[in-house]
Amino acid sequence: MSLVYSWQQVVERLSVDSQWKQARKYLSQHKITHNPTLQQIWRILDLAWNELSETTPNKSDTSKFLHEYYQHPVWLINAAFCESDQATINDRLAAVRLIAHVQPRKILDFGGGIGTVSRLCATTLPQEAELIDLVDITEFRHTIKQYLSDFPNIRILEKPDSPYDAVISTEVLEHLIDPIGAVVEINRLLRVGGAFAASWSFAPVIKCHLPQNFHLRRLMPWIIRSLGFGFYGFERRGSTVYGFVKHSEVTPAMLKQARFLELISRLPIPSDRLLLLMRGL
């Protein structure tokens, strides 16, 4: 089974969604007929963000605004790109490799969108992965179920069904209001000894990367380590994917330390380099 689909293959399968016709308007507007670039995808997603901002009366409710934004049909276009872009698939495969050492039987695809990570787990870990749960803020669940119908061991859930042997979260944390709180939740969902693989981009490349979290790009690996995880390794592809292993539950002292590191990361000093020299990873 192919790991990378063609743009035409994905579009054909996603066109069953009732919102695909609306999504196509953004493709024609940008004169994209097939194989869009990453920069074109970013422009489309930013356009949807701007349009929603103009029509949202109360943008101060960030949580509500984000929920509405992630139901926008342009995310179907983003899904088609993720499934047909070799570089994106390589990043996701790196995350799968970083959990393989625990031979996970039950995996959580945290914020998994259309399910790229889920299907790669099902395809490349067929002997280990008995159950793969996909949880995402999007409400395209019916379409996702149809799209992943070839993989009976993948479930699309509204809420996680813990405990898990492994959790993967690729390019998700930068979209969340409280990434540190999300890591605490991921720790809770994992068994002790379970693996956590994640990548993130705390940078202003796109408007849904929340500026309030950009400081975390300096110390996120150390913050995760302070929350009951040991560092396992990393792979640097298009983005850097980090692997961790849970060694304990999160205690109040750990959370306090994580918030202190977050505070340090806001300071205009090379705190990441200092920690690397003092403690390594």
Q: What's the pLDDT at 69?
A: 94
pLDDT above 70 for 277: no
pTM recorded for the entire structure: 0.92
CA 34 to chain centre: 24
Q: What's the pLDDT at 30?
A: 54
Q: What's the pLDDT at 141?
A: 85
Compute the distance between CA of residue 176 and CA of residue 201 in angstroms, rounded to an integer: 12
Q: Please report which residue ranges of 105-232 form alpha helices under DSSP H.
A: 116-124, 141-147, 179-189, 220-225
Compute the distance between CA of residue 233 and CA of residue 25 in angstroms, rounded to an integer: 42
pLDDT tens-digit series, residues 82-135 = 999 999 999 999 999 999 999 999 999 999 999 999 999 999 997 889 999 999
The candidate with the shortest Cα–Cα distance to 153, out of 170, 140, 137, 134, is 134
Is 139 or 171 the better-scoring residue by pLDDT?
Answer: 171
pLDDT (mean) for 233-254: 94
State the amino acid at position 207 in one-letter form: K
Q: What's the pLDDT at 21?
A: 87
pLDDT bracket for residue 33 (50, 70, 90): low
Q: Tokens 């342009």 — which residue? A: 74
CA 17 to chain centre: 22
Q: What's the pLDDT at 140?
A: 87
Q: What's the pLDDT at 279?
A: 65
pLDDT tens-digit series, residues 253-266 = 999 999 999 998 88
pLDDT above 90 for 212: yes
